């Protein structure tokens, strides 16, 4: 299969990449620009914004909060996604389409509308907003992706395996635990990361449902309202490099483990990654997002 990339394809992909990375290039340039203003002309090279980043206690505290919130979101998304996927692919499920629609609903509703509606509901029943509501709401939005991810794997799962286990005397729980679950490990890991990524990138839900829990996105948004300081560009660059590294090593790991990356795994990766990135285009309020 190894063949050279066509010239026309090189041109297409090259152009696409150039356009895709043009605004990022601008970001990188301004993160190294000495002036506090994001405007041309450039005023000279400086690392001051990266230094400012390290000394910003509010940022660091927000980052810690974000990380602590993201873990349970990932876990809940994974568990709910597994349960929903098992139900969805069960042979005897009645009302399957209605169930599917219900599970996909949090994705289909624009996130700000959903978050506003949830905030109204919480107000009506007098439930305080805080870390718990934030985690639940983020997990709810992550769950549809987790479900799709796990269900995709379940559909490909050979049910004769569980049947064989049952024939050999395993209880349903045992056949689930020792035959099916190991098979789903990858998908479950993906579901977990989707929850984590989505939670880290979220601002929309946090705006309406976080109460006094203040994740990084919220703190950055509130700083950004007052002034656009290049240390936020710097932070963006750092985050960007880190994610590229994480994804990059993940890819490399896969590549080394099994030579054949495609076509099958692409679907799973795509669904997982896409779900994770989806939230980055969620609509925050008037406030900004990092």
Partner 1 sequence: MTRFEALTGVRVRESYLSSDDAQFAALRTGAASDWDIVNPSLNGAWRYVKAGVLKPLDLAKIPTRSQMYPPFASTDKVKGQNGATYAVPYLWGLNPIVYRTDKIQGEASYATLFDPKYKGQLAMRDYALEAIAIAALHVGVPRERVFALNASELAEAKKALVAQKPLLRTYWQTIGDLTNLFATGEVACAFSWRVPYDELKGKMPVAMAKPKVGIMGWCDCFAMPASISDEKAELGYKFINYLLGPDYASQIAEKGNYATSSSIIRDTLSKEKQADIFVDDLSVMDSFLWPIAPDNYAEWLKVWNEVKAS
Partner 2 sequence: MTLPPRLRREHLAVPVALLFGLGSLAPIVVLAVLSVFRVDDFDLVPAVSARTWIELAGTPIYAVLIGKALLSGAATAVSTALMGYPIALALRRLPPSLKGPALVVLLTPLYTGEVVRIYAWRVTLGAEGLVNSALQALGLTQSPLTFLLFSPFTTGLVLAYNNAPFMILSLWVAAETVEPRLIEAARDLGARPLDAFFRIVFPLTLPGLAAGVFTVFTLAAGEMLTPSLLGGTSGATAMALIENLFGTAFDWPMASALALALLAALFAVAAAGAALVLLSRSARAVLWRAP
Of residues 231-290, those binding partner 1 (CB under 8 A): 285-288
Q: Is 128 in the site for partner 1 (CB under 8 A)?
A: yes
Among 73, 135, 143, 219, binds partner 2 (CB under 8 A): 143
Which one of 224, 254, 267, 273 is in contact with partner 1 (CB under 8 A)?
A: 224
Token reading at 141: 């939005």
Establish if 243 lies at the interface with partner 2 (CB under 8 A): yes
Is 86 an interacting residue with respect to partner 2 (CB under 8 A)? yes
Nearest approach, Cβ of 225 to partner 2 (angstroms)? Answer: 10
Q: How many CB atoms lie within 10 A of CB 253?
A: 9
Piece of 43-51, 61-69, 186-194, 256-264 that binds partner 2 (CB under 8 A): 256-264
Q: Given the complex with partner 1, which of 162 and 207 has the nearer CB atom?
A: 207
Could you say which residues in the range 194-233 bind partner 2, by CB under 8 A? 201, 203, 217, 220-221, 224, 228, 232-233
Query: Which residues within the stretch 18-37 sit at the binding site for partner 1 (CB under 8 A)?
Result: 36-37
- Identify whether the C-beta of residue 206 lies closer than 8 Å to the C-beta of residue 134: yes
Give the C-alpha separation, 204 to 284, whole Å. 4
Q: Which is nearer to partner 1, 212 or 259 (CB)?
A: 212
Place of tokens 């080394």: 256
- For residue 32, give every residue at least 6 positions away whose Cβ sits within 8 Å of its Cβ, in sequence order, or none: 45, 46, 47, 49
Residues from 257 through 286 that contact partner 2 (CB under 8 A): 260-263, 266-267, 269-270, 273-274, 277-278, 280-281, 283-286
**Cβ–Cβ < 8 Å for 207, 115:** yes
> For residue 286, with 0-12 CB atoms within 10 Å meaning exposed, 13-18 middle and 19 or more buried, which class applies?
exposed
Provide the Cα torsion 227, 40, 243, 152; round to 10°: 90
CA 78/CA 249 separation, integer angstroms: 23
Q: Pick from 142, 129, 145, 147: which is nearest to 71 by CA?
A: 142
Name the residue nearer to partner 2 (CB basis): 131 or 136.
136
**Cβ proximity to partner 2, 41 vs 55, nearer residue:** 41
**Contact flag: residue 68 with partner 2 (CB under 8 A):** no
CA distance 79 to 187: 12
Total of chain residues touching partner 2, rule CB under 8 A: 102
Applying CB under 8 A, the span of 126-134, 183-191, 194-202, 260-268 interacting with partner 1 comes to 126-134
Instruction: Give one DSSP letter per residue of 184-224, joined into a string.
Output: HHHHHHHHHHHHHHHHHH--HHHHHH-TT---HHHHHHHHH
Counting contacts by CB under 8 A, is residue 249 touching partner 2?
no
219 binds, among partner 1, partner 2, none (CB under 5 to 8 A by kind): partner 1
Q: How far apart are CA 154 and CA 274, in angstroms?
A: 19
- Per CB under 8 A, does 55 bind partner 1? no
Contact positions vs partner 1 (CB under 8 A) = 36-40, 122-123, 126, 128-129, 207, 211-212, 214, 218-219, 221-222, 224-228, 285-288
């Amino acid at each position: 299969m190894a063949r050279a990339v066509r010239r026309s394809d090189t041109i297409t992909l090259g152009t696409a990449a150039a356009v895709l990375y043009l605004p990022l290039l601008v970001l990188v340039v301004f993160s190294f620009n000495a002036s506090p203003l994001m405007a041309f002309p450039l005023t000279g090279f400086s690392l001051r914004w990266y230094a400012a980043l390290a000394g910003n206690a509010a940022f660091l505290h927000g980052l810690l909060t974000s990380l602590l919130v993201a873990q349970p979101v990932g876990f809940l998304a994974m568990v709910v996604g597994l349960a929903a996927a098992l139900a969805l692919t069960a042979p005897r499920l009645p009302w399957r389409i209605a169930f599917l629609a219900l599970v996909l609903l949090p994705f289909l509703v624009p996130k700000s509308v959903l978050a506003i509606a949830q905030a109204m509901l919480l107000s009506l029943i007098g439930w305080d907003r805080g870390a718990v509501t934030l985690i639940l709401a983020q997990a709810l939005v992550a769950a549809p992706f987790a479900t799709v991810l796990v269900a995709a794997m379940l559909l490909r799962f050979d049910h004769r395996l569980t049947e064989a286990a049952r024939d050999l005397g395993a209880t349903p729980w045992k056949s689930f635990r020792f035959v099916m679950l190991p098979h789903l490990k990858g998908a479950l890991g993906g579901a977990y990361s989707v929850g984590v990524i989505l939670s880290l990138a979220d601002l929309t839900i946090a705006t309406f449902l976080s109460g006094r829990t203040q994740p990084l996105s919220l703190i950055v948004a509130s700083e950004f309202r007052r002034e656009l300081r290049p240390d936020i560009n710097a932070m963006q660059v750092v985050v960007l490099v880190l994610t590229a590294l994480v994804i990059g090593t993940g890819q490399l790991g896969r590549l080394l483990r099994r030579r054949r990356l495609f076509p099958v795994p692409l679907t799973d990766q795509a669904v997982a990654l896409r779900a994770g990135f989806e939230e980055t285009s969620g609509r925050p309020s008037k406030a900004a997002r990092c």
